[in-house]
Structure 1
Amino acid sequence: MTSERPQMFPSQFETIAEAAERHDVTFEFVTGKLRVKPMPDGDHAEIVMWLIECCMTQRPDLRLHPGRRVLLSGDCRTKPDAVLAHRRAFAAQGEWSDPAEVLMAVEVTSHDPHANRCDREEKPVAYAKAGIPVFLLVDREAGAVTVFSEPGGGRYGSVVTLTHGHTVEVPEPVNVTLDTEVLKEFVR
């Protein structure tokens, strides 16, 4: 299996992913590889809700959509923990969202080492290649938040990591300030 010869075709993946959702299993297709996305635990859900509150308070013109599927490229289909977009950006779209509408993709790590490696290594490349302006990674294992921005050439030009407890400035086009002290409650 290589990027020239993926495990399956994207259309095959979409059929499998749709069937799996009915059984509370989430699959992603990242760089031609099938990935199982762990079901979120309560702490994970609380972090996503905290981010929704932060975004709604500071940027009421935007919406943070949990679990919206994104069609990144020919060999990449992801279901970020959340995506930030302008209000009504996904109206009249099917289940797979256009990455051009996404201002920020958000991933919160789980307790699965394979999924965490994907969140830390593969998804920043995939989101940068798709031109998503900001990727926010809440890394519970590391106790840190990483903001990837300035996509270009298949990577993010700016990568800033701060441990929980610091104030994190999420740059344009998001323009949100996150007081991450609360995240210390969700590291186990």
Structure 2
Amino acid sequence: MSKNEESEMTTLAPEKTTSDVSPAPAESRALFDLLDSLDLPRGLRAEIIEGSTITVSPVASGKHQRTVRSLDLQLRPHLPAGYDAEPHLEIRMPELGKSVIPDLFVAPAEVLDTAESIVPPDDVLLVAEVVSPSNARSDRVVKLNIYAKAAIEYYLLIDPIAAQTTLFSKPSGGRYLDRVTRDFGKKLVIPEPFEFDLDTSQFRALS
């Protein structure tokens, strides 16, 4: 698999392929069992983001990771007391039949201090994704819907293709009611409990 490819392993009711259709509870349990049983080669990750499908994607590029790192460095001084930022753990949502590994998310440190590689969405305060050419639709549309349905307060979408950063907030009824978009180079206000101006000039656009 090349670094610009994204593959899908379709299992259990493959006709359900949209993010708006969640597997039945029994299907979800079987799908999560399959996810947990995967022995992926180094450099690959697996998520459940659309229907009854496990999506396997390659590691991100250096530019992508530099943008994630820049966000991490800017975010950490403004984290609420008792919270930390996490770039590796999986957020599992059994009630939605979804499993997502964000580029970065913020949750209570005690939740992240786990012997497992999985955390629930309940206490996740903010998730962030950096768009790459291979996953643009997933981040812009599919994961946007997932995070809203999981009622995660903030979704920060950094889009180097469009050279824009968007903050989605106020989840209600399975969607975000508010969104603010800034071109790279403009500051984006990240509200309480963070309360700081995100410097988007630090992000790397893809030309």
The CA distance in 1 between the partners of 2:58 and 2:196, in whole Å, is: 28
Q: Secondary structure at the match of 2:125?
A: strand
Bigger Rg, structure 1 or 2: 2
What residue is the counterpart of 1:97 in the other structure?
119
1:111 and 1:76, CA in 2 relative to 1: closer, same or farther beyond 3 A? same
- Please give the TM-score of this superposition, normalised by the length of structure 2: 0.79
Deviation of residue 93 (structure 1)? 5.7
* Structure-2 change in CA distance of 1:20 and 1:142 (3 Å): farther
State yes or no: 1:132 paired with 2:172: no
Cα contact 1:20–1:26 (8 A) shared by 2: no
What letter corresponds to residue 133 of structure 2 in structure 1? H
CA distance in 1, matches of 2:160, 2:29: 30
> Comparing both structures, which one devotes a greater share of its residues to helix?
1
Distance change in 2, residues 1:31/1:141 (3 Å):
same
Return the alpha-carbon distance in structure 2 between the equivalents of residues 150 and 97 of structure 1.
22
Q: Does 1:86 pair with 2:108?
A: yes
What is aligned with 1:163? Answer: 183
Q: CA deviation digits over 1:148-173, x for unaligned, max 9?
A: 10001000000111110110112234
1:16 maps to: 35
> Residues of 2 paired with 1:26 and 1:122: CA distance?
17
Trace 1:22-171 onto structure 2 (pairs within 5 A).
22-32=41-51, 33-59=53-79, 61=81, 62-74=83-95, 75-92=97-114, 94-112=116-134, 115-171=135-191
Change over 3 Å in CA distance of 1:132–1:144 after alignment to 2: same
Aligned to 2:5: none
- RMSD over aligned Cα atoms: 2.2
Alpha carbons of structure 1 residues 18 and 175: separation in structure 2 relative to 1, 3 Å: farther
Unaligned 5+ segments in structure 1 are none
Q: Percent identity?
A: 27
Q: Distance in 1 between matches of 2:48 and 2:159?
A: 21
SS in 2 for 1:94: coil
So what's the TM-score if we normalise by structure 1? 0.86
Take 2:33 and 2:181, find their aligned partners in 1: how far apart are those partners? 33
* Distance change (3 Å), C-alpha of 1:166 and 1:71: same
Aligned to 2:10: none
Question: Which amino acid in structure 2 is aligned with residue 45 of structure 1?
Answer: Q
- Which region of structure 1 is more displaced relative to structure 2, 21-30 or 150-159? 21-30
Gaps of 5+ in 2: 1-14
Q: CA deviation at 1:146?
A: 0.8
